[in-house]
Structure 1
Amino acid sequence: MTSITDPNMSDRFTSAMEDIHNKQLKTYGEIIDATTELCQSHRQFVKSALDSCSKKCKDDEMLFETIQSFKKDMEQKNASLKEKRHAISEVMSEIQQKEMHKDDIIQKIEKLKEEQAKRKEVIESQNKANKDRLRNLGKARLVFQDHLGMEIRTILSKTQLVKGEKLQFVFRNINPSDQDSAYVVTMGIKADGSYQIVSSDPALECLPALESRLQETNNLPAFLANVRKEFIAQARC
């Protein structure tokens, strides 16, 4: 062991302390360099992270804007679709109403066709009845006008009670004391084709009964014969 009284001891101690100090400084320098490098690396990492975060935020903002745009567009499309559905509903309702109206028109047309067919049948029946009456008038004309001196006149009535074309049957050779004296019965045909007795001159009390009988039998010659008999009976009273 070196004696502390050794004069070189102080120099060696100082030198050892310097070596230790230099080593520590070197170690501190290395630590500082490592710390500086770590700080720079951390700054770069933080900067990179901030850049990444900033880029991510921008991307998220763009994505959010895109989503909002899609959402707005979807809302507009839904509103447009709702309007189109409403319009389609109105069109369908209008079509249904037109179909119902069409069905009503078809039913009315069918009803009119049926009514027209019925009217045609009635007209044909009336025409046939009128033809029969014309034949009866022809027969009556032959019987009464040619053999009994009866005259048939066509007149046009202007009274309020009876309007239209009428026939006058003028009987002569009734009164033995006045063979040319005229006995007249006026008649026409109603809308339904039946006979209508308008008047007689002179008046016959039994004329309504004779008219009723004519309506039942539709036998005009028999009616005229009965009227002539009544005129003859009245003239002889």
Structure 2
Amino acid sequence: MKAIVTGANGTVGSRLCEDLERHGVEVVRWDRGSVPVDDYWAMEGFVRSVAPDVLFHLAIASRSTGRSNESWLINYEWTSELAWMTRQLGVRFVFSSTAMVFSNNARGPFTVDSEPEAPEGYGYEKRRAEERVFQQNPEARVARLGWQIDARPSGNNMLAALETQMREKGRVEASTRWLPACSFLDDTVRALQALAWAEPGLYMLDANERWSYYEIVRALNERHGGHWNVEPTEHFVFDQRMMDDRVVLPSLKARLPGLR
């Protein structure tokens, strides 16, 4: 099996590449410096030359190069072109979206029937990209992801954010009224691979059954040495959980026994 992965240096992409290779998959990482994302024929030529079985599109506009409308180009236009291209070439297409397609004013928990309504920014670009993907490629798989949790405090995962907050503020503030969409990174990576062979459609990957951000942070603190000063707040009120019975991720409690 052969796979192309965009966003291969990111939090999810780098771990996905590691896991695919560990299972004997030939992985080709998309290098935007070599294959420009605004040149359709260059992109199609690259995909044809690789002849992958699946293309995992995980890239976002995380590092600005100063181009005009760069975020829209990466999050929407590139996604649209890849969806069409994979349809024409018979390549399975897995696109990673986000729980942020729902604004903080929406009322969760969300299901696949909940209407995303993020009015601006990253969430807006991703929800528009979701729509475009299915217009361009009805056989695509779209996976909405929550915040990733990992044992390594790197990238933009939850542990890294908590370590940074503790270092900069001397405390970690965590809302007791926010139920975040989240899952452990290794579980997310395995689910993404499984989705490549699932029925086409929209999926939501979230392992949080019922716990607040404060409860999750407290359990993580217990697991990682207890050196954070965790303070409960009520400053952010939002049920962001995503419910999808077709995707079975290990519960957070299975990964964090400290959860009550």
Per residue, is there more helix in 1 or in 2? 1
| TM-score (norm. length: structure 1) | 0.25
| TM-score (norm. length: structure 2) | 0.23
Greater relative CO, 1 or 2 (CA 8 Å, sep 6+): 2
Per residue, is there more strand in 1 or in 2? 2
